[in-house]
Amino acid sequence: MKRSCPTIQELMAFDAVASFESLTRAAGALCVSVGAISKQLASLETFVGKPLFEKQGRGVRLTAIGREYWNKISPSLRAIESATFEVRAAGLSSGVLTLASVPTFLTKWLIPRLGEFRRHYPGVTFSFRRHLDRGETQPHDIDASIRYGSGDWPNVVADYIAGREFVCVIAPGGHDRTSPTDPQTMLMDATLLHHVEAPTVWRKWASHHDLDALQTLSGPRFAQYAAIIQAALSGLGAALVPKILVEDELQDGRLVAIGNPVDGDQGHYLCFASEKGERSVFAAFREWILTEGHIGERAAIRRLGRG
Protein backbone atom coordinates (compact mmCIF):
# COMPACT_ATOMS: atom_id res chain seq x y z
CA MET A 1 0.00 0.00 0.00
CA LYS A 2 1.33 3.42 -0.91
CA ARG A 3 2.22 5.37 2.19
CA SER A 4 0.73 8.82 2.76
CA CYS A 5 2.98 9.89 5.64
CA PRO A 6 6.76 10.26 6.03
CA THR A 7 8.61 7.72 8.15
CA ILE A 8 9.42 8.55 11.76
CA GLN A 9 13.13 8.44 10.89
CA GLU A 10 12.63 11.11 8.24
CA LEU A 11 10.63 13.31 10.61
CA MET A 12 13.15 12.91 13.44
CA ALA A 13 16.00 13.88 11.11
CA PHE A 14 14.02 16.85 9.83
CA ASP A 15 13.15 17.98 13.37
CA ALA A 16 16.74 17.71 14.56
CA VAL A 17 18.21 19.64 11.63
CA ALA A 18 15.51 22.30 11.94
CA SER A 19 16.38 22.69 15.63
CA PHE A 20 20.18 22.81 15.26
CA GLU A 21 20.43 24.30 11.74
CA SER A 22 23.36 21.93 11.31
CA LEU A 23 23.55 18.41 9.87
CA THR A 24 26.58 17.62 12.02
CA ARG A 25 24.95 18.63 15.31
CA ALA A 26 21.71 16.90 14.33
CA ALA A 27 23.61 13.71 13.55
CA GLY A 28 25.34 13.89 16.95
CA ALA A 29 22.03 14.38 18.76
CA LEU A 30 20.49 11.35 17.03
CA CYS A 31 23.66 9.25 17.26
CA VAL A 32 23.81 8.61 13.51
CA SER A 33 26.17 9.66 10.72
CA VAL A 34 25.88 12.90 8.75
CA GLY A 35 25.37 10.75 5.67
CA ALA A 36 22.36 9.09 7.26
CA ILE A 37 20.86 12.47 8.12
CA SER A 38 21.40 13.71 4.55
CA LYS A 39 19.75 10.60 3.17
CA GLN A 40 16.66 11.00 5.40
CA LEU A 41 16.30 14.69 4.49
CA ALA A 42 16.61 13.95 0.77
CA SER A 43 13.99 11.21 1.10
CA LEU A 44 11.61 13.55 2.97
CA GLU A 45 12.01 16.36 0.42
CA THR A 46 11.34 13.91 -2.38
CA PHE A 47 8.25 12.63 -0.56
CA VAL A 48 6.71 16.09 0.04
CA GLY A 49 7.92 17.40 -3.31
CA LYS A 50 9.23 20.68 -1.87
CA PRO A 51 12.64 21.98 -0.71
CA LEU A 52 12.62 22.18 3.09
CA PHE A 53 16.13 23.55 3.69
CA GLU A 54 18.55 25.94 2.05
CA LYS A 55 22.23 26.49 2.69
CA GLN A 56 23.28 29.29 5.06
CA GLY A 57 27.02 29.72 5.46
CA ARG A 58 28.39 26.45 6.82
CA GLY A 59 24.95 25.34 8.01
CA VAL A 60 21.39 25.19 6.75
CA ARG A 61 18.13 26.93 7.47
CA LEU A 62 14.48 26.17 6.85
CA THR A 63 12.80 27.50 3.75
CA ALA A 64 9.48 29.27 4.24
CA ILE A 65 7.64 26.06 3.38
CA GLY A 66 9.98 24.06 5.63
CA ARG A 67 9.30 26.35 8.61
CA GLU A 68 5.56 26.16 8.11
CA TYR A 69 5.78 22.37 7.94
CA TRP A 70 7.98 22.19 11.07
CA ASN A 71 5.60 24.42 13.04
CA LYS A 72 2.76 22.05 12.21
CA ILE A 73 4.48 18.73 12.95
CA SER A 74 6.65 19.73 15.92
CA PRO A 75 3.82 19.62 18.52
CA SER A 76 2.91 16.11 17.37
CA LEU A 77 6.51 14.93 17.71
CA ARG A 78 6.67 16.39 21.22
CA ALA A 79 3.39 14.61 22.05
CA ILE A 80 4.84 11.29 20.83
CA GLU A 81 7.94 11.84 22.98
CA SER A 82 5.82 12.63 26.05
CA ALA A 83 3.47 9.70 25.54
CA THR A 84 6.42 7.31 25.09
CA PHE A 85 8.09 8.64 28.22
CA GLU A 86 4.93 8.11 30.22
CA VAL A 87 4.48 4.54 29.00
CA ARG A 88 8.08 3.69 29.83
CA ALA A 89 7.81 5.29 33.27
CA ALA A 90 4.22 4.26 33.97
CA GLY A 91 3.03 4.93 37.50
CA LEU A 92 1.44 7.59 39.67
CA SER A 93 4.72 9.29 40.50
CA SER A 94 6.01 9.48 36.93
CA GLY A 95 5.03 11.18 33.70
CA VAL A 96 5.14 14.42 31.74
CA LEU A 97 2.87 17.36 32.52
CA THR A 98 2.56 19.97 29.80
CA LEU A 99 1.34 23.32 31.10
CA ALA A 100 0.71 26.78 29.71
CA SER A 101 0.75 29.49 32.36
CA VAL A 102 0.48 33.24 32.63
CA PRO A 103 4.13 34.28 33.08
CA THR A 104 4.09 36.24 36.35
CA PHE A 105 2.23 33.51 38.23
CA LEU A 106 4.62 30.92 36.80
CA THR A 107 7.80 32.71 37.88
CA LYS A 108 6.62 34.32 41.11
CA TRP A 109 4.35 31.64 42.58
CA LEU A 110 4.46 28.24 40.87
CA ILE A 111 8.16 27.65 40.15
CA PRO A 112 9.30 28.48 43.71
CA ARG A 113 6.89 25.79 44.97
CA LEU A 114 7.59 23.07 42.42
CA GLY A 115 10.49 21.71 44.44
CA GLU A 116 8.03 20.58 47.11
CA PHE A 117 5.84 18.84 44.54
CA ARG A 118 8.80 17.07 42.96
CA ARG A 119 9.97 15.93 46.38
CA HIS A 120 6.81 13.79 46.51
CA TYR A 121 6.75 12.98 42.77
CA PRO A 122 10.38 12.95 41.59
CA GLY A 123 9.55 11.18 38.34
CA VAL A 124 7.35 13.99 37.00
CA THR A 125 8.77 16.11 34.20
CA PHE A 126 7.23 19.52 33.46
CA SER A 127 7.03 21.01 29.99
CA PHE A 128 5.96 24.67 29.90
CA ARG A 129 4.38 26.21 26.81
CA ARG A 130 3.58 29.78 25.78
CA HIS A 131 0.74 31.21 27.85
CA LEU A 132 -2.69 31.45 26.24
CA ASP A 133 -3.85 34.83 25.03
CA ARG A 134 -7.12 36.28 26.16
CA GLY A 135 -9.93 34.44 24.35
CA GLU A 136 -7.60 31.77 22.95
CA THR A 137 -9.00 28.23 22.86
CA GLN A 138 -7.35 25.59 25.01
CA PRO A 139 -5.02 23.48 22.78
CA HIS A 140 -5.42 19.70 22.80
CA ASP A 141 -1.69 19.03 23.21
CA ILE A 142 -1.40 20.48 26.74
CA ASP A 143 -2.59 18.97 30.01
CA ALA A 144 -3.70 22.24 31.55
CA SER A 145 -3.36 26.00 31.41
CA ILE A 146 -3.11 28.45 34.28
CA ARG A 147 -5.11 31.50 33.29
CA TYR A 148 -6.00 34.80 34.89
CA GLY A 149 -9.60 35.94 34.85
CA SER A 150 -13.06 35.24 36.25
CA GLY A 151 -13.07 31.48 35.58
CA ASP A 152 -15.63 31.40 32.77
CA TRP A 153 -13.63 29.98 29.86
CA PRO A 154 -15.64 27.66 27.57
CA ASN A 155 -15.16 23.89 27.25
CA VAL A 156 -12.79 23.49 30.21
CA VAL A 157 -12.97 22.75 33.90
CA ALA A 158 -11.69 25.85 35.74
CA ASP A 159 -10.47 25.32 39.33
CA TYR A 160 -9.68 28.45 41.31
CA ILE A 161 -6.12 28.40 42.69
CA ALA A 162 -5.49 31.79 44.29
CA GLY A 163 -5.02 35.48 43.55
CA ARG A 164 -8.37 37.22 44.13
CA GLU A 165 -6.98 39.25 47.03
CA PHE A 166 -5.58 42.53 45.64
CA VAL A 167 -3.24 44.80 47.57
CA CYS A 168 -2.10 48.32 46.77
CA VAL A 169 1.69 48.60 46.94
CA ILE A 170 4.29 51.31 46.45
CA ALA A 171 8.04 51.54 46.85
CA PRO A 172 9.22 53.01 50.18
CA GLY A 173 9.97 56.67 49.59
CA GLY A 174 8.39 56.47 46.15
CA HIS A 175 5.89 59.14 47.14
CA ASP A 176 6.85 61.97 49.47
CA ARG A 177 3.39 62.37 50.97
CA THR A 178 2.46 58.73 51.36
CA SER A 179 2.23 56.71 54.51
CA PRO A 180 1.08 53.07 54.61
CA THR A 181 -2.09 54.04 56.51
CA ASP A 182 -3.17 57.04 54.42
CA PRO A 183 -4.81 56.02 51.12
CA GLN A 184 -6.30 59.48 50.58
CA THR A 185 -2.88 61.13 50.57
CA MET A 186 -1.47 58.46 48.29
CA LEU A 187 -4.21 58.92 45.69
CA MET A 188 -3.89 62.70 45.72
CA ASP A 189 -1.09 62.85 43.13
CA ALA A 190 0.42 59.36 42.76
CA THR A 191 0.55 57.66 39.38
CA LEU A 192 -1.70 54.61 39.39
CA LEU A 193 -0.57 51.52 37.48
CA HIS A 194 -3.29 49.41 35.82
CA HIS A 195 -3.56 45.88 34.41
CA VAL A 196 -5.53 45.76 31.15
CA GLU A 197 -7.47 42.66 32.28
CA ALA A 198 -8.47 44.12 35.65
CA PRO A 199 -10.11 47.40 34.58
CA THR A 200 -12.46 47.78 37.57
CA VAL A 201 -10.29 46.77 40.51
CA TRP A 202 -8.99 50.30 41.20
CA ARG A 203 -12.56 51.62 41.36
CA LYS A 204 -13.46 48.83 43.76
CA TRP A 205 -10.42 49.62 45.92
CA ALA A 206 -11.36 53.33 45.97
CA SER A 207 -14.94 52.53 46.96
CA HIS A 208 -13.70 50.27 49.76
CA HIS A 209 -11.65 53.18 51.14
CA ASP A 210 -14.39 55.83 50.63
CA LEU A 211 -12.41 57.61 47.93
CA ASP A 212 -13.49 59.25 44.68
CA ALA A 213 -13.43 56.49 42.07
CA LEU A 214 -12.91 59.03 39.26
CA GLN A 215 -9.40 59.64 40.53
CA THR A 216 -8.51 56.03 39.75
CA LEU A 217 -9.24 56.10 36.00
CA SER A 218 -5.97 57.60 34.78
CA GLY A 219 -2.54 56.00 34.62
CA PRO A 220 -0.52 53.69 32.36
CA ARG A 221 -1.83 50.24 31.39
CA PHE A 222 0.22 47.03 31.42
CA ALA A 223 -0.44 43.58 29.94
CA GLN A 224 1.53 41.67 32.60
CA TYR A 225 1.71 41.95 36.37
CA ALA A 226 5.48 41.42 36.23
CA ALA A 227 5.80 44.78 34.45
CA ILE A 228 3.46 46.50 36.93
CA ILE A 229 5.40 45.13 39.91
CA GLN A 230 8.71 46.22 38.40
CA ALA A 231 7.29 49.67 37.72
CA ALA A 232 6.24 49.96 41.37
CA LEU A 233 9.65 48.75 42.55
CA SER A 234 11.26 51.40 40.32
CA GLY A 235 9.22 54.15 41.97
CA LEU A 236 7.00 54.83 38.97
CA GLY A 237 3.74 54.68 40.88
CA ALA A 238 1.32 52.68 43.00
CA ALA A 239 0.22 49.23 41.83
CA LEU A 240 -2.86 47.22 42.67
CA VAL A 241 -1.87 43.59 42.20
CA PRO A 242 -2.73 40.10 43.47
CA LYS A 243 -1.10 39.79 46.86
CA ILE A 244 0.32 36.35 46.07
CA LEU A 245 2.57 37.95 43.44
CA VAL A 246 4.27 40.45 45.80
CA GLU A 247 4.66 38.41 49.00
CA ASP A 248 8.48 38.45 48.79
CA GLU A 249 8.64 42.19 48.06
CA LEU A 250 6.36 42.97 51.01
CA GLN A 251 8.28 40.60 53.27
CA ASP A 252 11.67 42.19 52.59
CA GLY A 253 10.39 45.76 52.54
CA ARG A 254 10.99 46.55 48.86
CA LEU A 255 7.29 47.39 48.64
CA VAL A 256 4.88 48.62 51.29
CA ALA A 257 1.12 48.07 51.37
CA ILE A 258 -1.32 50.98 51.26
CA GLY A 259 -4.75 50.65 52.87
CA ASN A 260 -6.56 47.30 53.04
CA PRO A 261 -6.70 44.49 50.48
CA VAL A 262 -9.87 43.99 48.43
CA ASP A 263 -11.44 41.07 46.57
CA GLY A 264 -10.78 41.70 42.89
CA ASP A 265 -13.31 39.14 41.55
CA GLN A 266 -10.59 37.66 39.32
CA GLY A 267 -7.84 35.21 40.04
CA HIS A 268 -5.63 32.43 38.72
CA TYR A 269 -7.33 29.23 37.58
CA LEU A 270 -6.19 25.75 36.61
CA CYS A 271 -8.04 25.01 33.36
CA PHE A 272 -8.22 21.59 31.71
CA ALA A 273 -10.41 19.41 29.55
CA SER A 274 -12.40 16.94 31.64
CA GLU A 275 -10.71 13.90 30.08
CA LYS A 276 -7.29 15.19 31.17
CA GLY A 277 -8.37 14.90 34.80
CA GLU A 278 -8.39 11.11 34.48
CA ARG A 279 -4.58 10.93 34.24
CA SER A 280 -3.20 9.89 37.61
CA VAL A 281 -0.17 12.16 37.40
CA PHE A 282 -2.36 15.16 36.55
CA ALA A 283 -4.79 14.31 39.36
CA ALA A 284 -1.87 14.39 41.80
CA PHE A 285 -0.70 17.77 40.48
CA ARG A 286 -4.22 19.19 40.56
CA GLU A 287 -4.75 18.20 44.18
CA TRP A 288 -1.35 19.64 45.13
CA ILE A 289 -1.68 23.02 43.43
CA LEU A 290 -5.21 23.64 44.70
CA THR A 291 -4.11 22.76 48.23
CA GLU A 292 -1.12 25.12 47.96
CA GLY A 293 -3.39 27.93 46.81
CA HIS A 294 -5.94 27.42 49.57
CA ILE A 295 -3.26 27.15 52.27
CA GLY A 296 -1.74 30.42 51.11
CA GLU A 297 -5.06 32.24 51.11
CA ARG A 298 -6.01 30.97 54.57
CA ALA A 299 -2.64 32.13 55.90
CA ALA A 300 -3.22 35.58 54.38
CA ILE A 301 -6.66 35.81 56.01
CA ARG A 302 -5.17 34.93 59.40
CA ARG A 303 -2.49 37.63 58.96
CA LEU A 304 -5.16 40.19 58.11
CA GLY A 305 -7.16 39.16 61.15
CA ARG A 306 -4.23 39.80 63.42
CA GLY A 307 -3.71 43.19 61.77
Tell me: the pLDDT tens digits for 215-236?
A: 677 889 998 999 999 999 999 9
pLDDT score of 232: 93
- Listed in order, strand segments (DSSP E) in 63-212 are 94-101, 123-129, 144-149, 157-162, 165-170, 192-195
Residue in 58, 12, 52 with CA at minimum distance from that of residue 31? 12
The chain-wide mean pLDDT, for the chain, equals 84
Which CATH number covers residue 176? 3.40.190.10
Q: How many domains does the chain have?
A: 3
Residue in 181, 182, 180, 221 with CA at minimum distance from that of residue 201? 221
pLDDT score of 178: 43
Tell me whether residue 272 is in a domain: yes
As a whole number of angstroms, the distance between CA 198 and CA 186 comes to 20
Residues in Cβ contact with 141 at an 8 Å cutoff, skipping those fewer than 6 apart? 75, 76, 78, 79, 98
pLDDT score of 202: 87
- 53-56 vs 59-62, strand pairing mode: antiparallel
Longest dimension (CA), the chain: 81
Residues 222 and 81 in one domain: no
Provide mean pLDDT across the span 166-194: 70
Residues 156 and 177 in one domain: no
- Listed in order, strand segments (DSSP E) in 2-111 are 53-56, 59-62, 94-101
Q: What is the DSSP secondary structure assignment for residue 197, as one 8-state letter?
A: T
- CA angle at 123 for the pair 18 and 141, rounded to the nearest 5°: 45
Amino acid in position 229:
I
Residues 171 and 242 in one domain: yes
Residues 258 and 271 in one domain: no
Q: Is residue 113's pLDDT more than 80?
A: yes
Residue in 84, 102, 92 with CA at minimum distance from that of residue 122? 92
Task: Tell me the three state secondary structure of residue 120.
Answer: helix
Q: Which of 49, 69, 86 is the last residue of a domain?
A: 86
pTM: 0.65
Tell me whether residue 245 is in a domain: yes
pLDDT digits (tens, 9 = 90+) for 125-150: 898 988 888 788 888 888 999 999 88
Q: Contact 145/276 with Cβ under 8 angstroms? A: no
pLDDT digits (tens, 9 = 90+) for 31-44: 889 999 999 999 99
Q: Which domain holds residue 193?
A: 165-263
Q: Which of 33, 62, 86 is the last residue of a domain?
A: 86
Please state at what angle helix 23-30 crosses helix 34-48, rounded to 10 degrees: 110
Residues 178 and 257 in one domain: yes
- Listed in order, strand segments (DSSP E) in the chain are 53-56, 59-62, 94-101, 123-129, 144-149, 157-162, 165-170, 192-195, 221-222, 238-242, 256-263, 267-272
Residues 24 and 59 in one domain: yes
pLDDT score of 174: 54
pLDDT digits (tens, 9 = 90+) for 234-285: 999 899 999 999 999 998 999 988 888 888 888 999 999 988 887 888 888 9
